[in-house]
A and B are shown apart, each in its own frame.
Chain A
Amino acid sequence: MKIEGKKVIWSEYQKEIADDNYFYVRSCIRQNFFPGSEVAFLRIMRDVLKKDVFEHPCHTTCSGIGYHGDVVPVETAMTVVARQFSLMTEAGYTNYVPSCITSFGLYTEILDTWHHFPEVEEKVRRQLKKATGREFKKPENLAHASDVIYKFRKEIAAKSKYRLINKETGEPLKVVDHIGCHYSKMFPSKGVGGAEYPYVLTGMIEEWGGQIVDYPERRHCCGFGFRQYLVQANRGFSIACSKEKFESMKPYQPDMIITNCPGCPMFLDRWQYVINEMEGKRYGQNGEGIPVFTYEEVAGLVLGYDPWDLGLQMHQTDCEPVLKKIGIEYSPEDKYNLAIIPSYSDSHKLINV
């Protein structure tokens, strides 16, 4: 195929991502699993990229975790989401940026439902008005936080302190990308690269010096699957999914995994520990695990943030092998030193209301 033809086809796989003035909504579970990631996003957006990012303290869960866990009906989820949109409308923003992939998927699904069934939207508007007295406008632009980092990946690369390159060998680090299923598998046109060629994390890694590993089970689910994990008896299916991915990626000897979903880094990280406890298997090099990072953590690392400020001590699979390979300066004795509180000069801005 001619290069021009490829460009035309690839242009259909792109999505519009707003330039500035974002209404940011956090994830329920990321703040517990990887508490440094969302703070890192805000610091990068505000301090490095000088963008306007607004957070509302009255924001609640989108109820997506309950919806996909089969305990919250869709109309309830729609009304909760309508309330989030009303907070955005109240604050005067139109660009909605969720931190969570499942929230992103739920918002996309709900906006699409309202597009095809306007009577459902009207019903939800009535329900919201009756319950809370609120009204809302739909967002003009909906982008996941990883889309925003993807959009500014070149700017981050230009200001980076480190590259994803093995300091000793000079070779690019081999990185496995794992895209959350709810990012573009449900609505391919809403993700960069669609469902077949999601490019959002690959673009970041290639821009920051790493090399993407293309392995057979690359698009396989991490195993979270909500109802698989939420019932303890079903967790064997969850861990089996992760194991299948690890078995598939192991021959390619990846240095690290990058993810853009709340559940995926949690399960790819924790299940490595559980598999090792159950079967004594490790999938990384030199008998170690494969470190798993969120995209904010990787962006923070290349920008030279302190690993412990990014919350990397919360990972169950040690991240030090990657830090050593890149040559990042860190203090091993401070890893679990809770007396050291990150001193953000702009900490008062983290919640800006």
Chain B
Amino acid sequence: MNKFGFGISPGRQIDYDSNNREVARYIFENEPSFRLCIECGGCSATCSTGNFTGFSLREINILIKRGENDLVRNALKKCMLCGKCTLVCPRGVNTRNIVVLAKRAFQKSDEYAL
């Protein structure tokens, strides 16, 4: 590729038409409280893992809803499922179940085809 000395920078546009939103759809179906999330960040603030790594459940929720699944798959492995995020959520979202469902969705298919 690089006989030109540069490459094509990837776009930063969120393309809802081409992104695969199957993981989000699976979570919406199995954990309807996912719709209540207002991305306040309470979960991330209290997260034990987040204190020591770059893990943020708030960021993961947004990425899943956008369909930017590639960024989510490895990040999910950091969660210890302690459930503190569920305790602090002001909207009563079952955040721990969201992580479990997302992991299950990724396990079901490499290409997120559920």
Contact check, B11 vs A239: say whether CB atoms are below 8 A apart: no
Contact check, A274 vs B10: say whether CB atoms are below 8 A apart: no
Across the interface, B11 reaches (CB within 8 A) one of A240, A275, A279, namely A240
- In the complex, chain A residues whose CB is within 8 Å of the CB of B13: 244
Contact check, A240 vs B4: say whether CB atoms are below 8 A apart: no
Q: Which A-chain residue is minimally distant from B3 (CB atoms)?
A: A277
- Rounded to whole angstroms, the CA-CA distance of A187 and B4 in the bound complex is 36
Contact check, A240 vs B10: say whether CB atoms are below 8 A apart: yes
Q: Give the interface residue-count category, chain A.
A: 10 to 19
- In the complex, chain A residues whose CB is within 8 Å of the CB of B5: 232-233, 235
Across the interface, A278 reaches (CB within 8 A) one of B4, B10, B11, namely B4
- In the complex, chain A residues whose CB is within 8 Å of the CB of B10: 240
- Rounded to whole angstroms, the CA-CA distance of A233 and B6 in the bound complex is 6
- In the complex, chain A residues whose CB is within 8 Å of the CB of B4: 235, 274, 277-278
B1-40: which have CB < 8 Å to A? Answer: 1, 3-11, 13
Q: Give the interface residue-count category, chain B.
A: 10 to 19
- In the complex, chain A residues whose CB is within 8 Å of the CB of B3: 277
Contact check, A279 vs B6: say whether CB atoms are below 8 A apart: no
A236 contacts partner chain B, Cβ-Cβ < 8 Å: yes
Q: Which of A232, A233, A235 has the most CB of B within 10 A?
A: A235
A243 contacts partner chain B, Cβ-Cβ < 8 Å: yes
- Rounded to whole angstroms, the CA-CA distance of A240 and B9 in the bound complex is 6
B7–chain A nearest beta-carbon distance, Å: 5
Contact check, B9 vs A236: say whether CB atoms are below 8 A apart: yes
Q: Which B-chain residue is minimally distant from A235 (CB atoms)?
A: B6
Q: Which A-chain residue is minimally distant from B18 (CB atoms)?
A: A247
A226-283: which have CB < 8 Å to B? Answer: 232-237, 239-240, 243-244, 274-275, 277-279
Contact check, A236 vs B8: say whether CB atoms are below 8 A apart: yes
List chain B positions with a Cβ less than 8 A from chain A: 1, 3-11, 13
Going nearest first, the 7 A-B pairs with the smallest beta carbon separation are: A236-B9, A240-B9, A235-B6, A236-B6, A239-B8, A237-B9, A278-B1
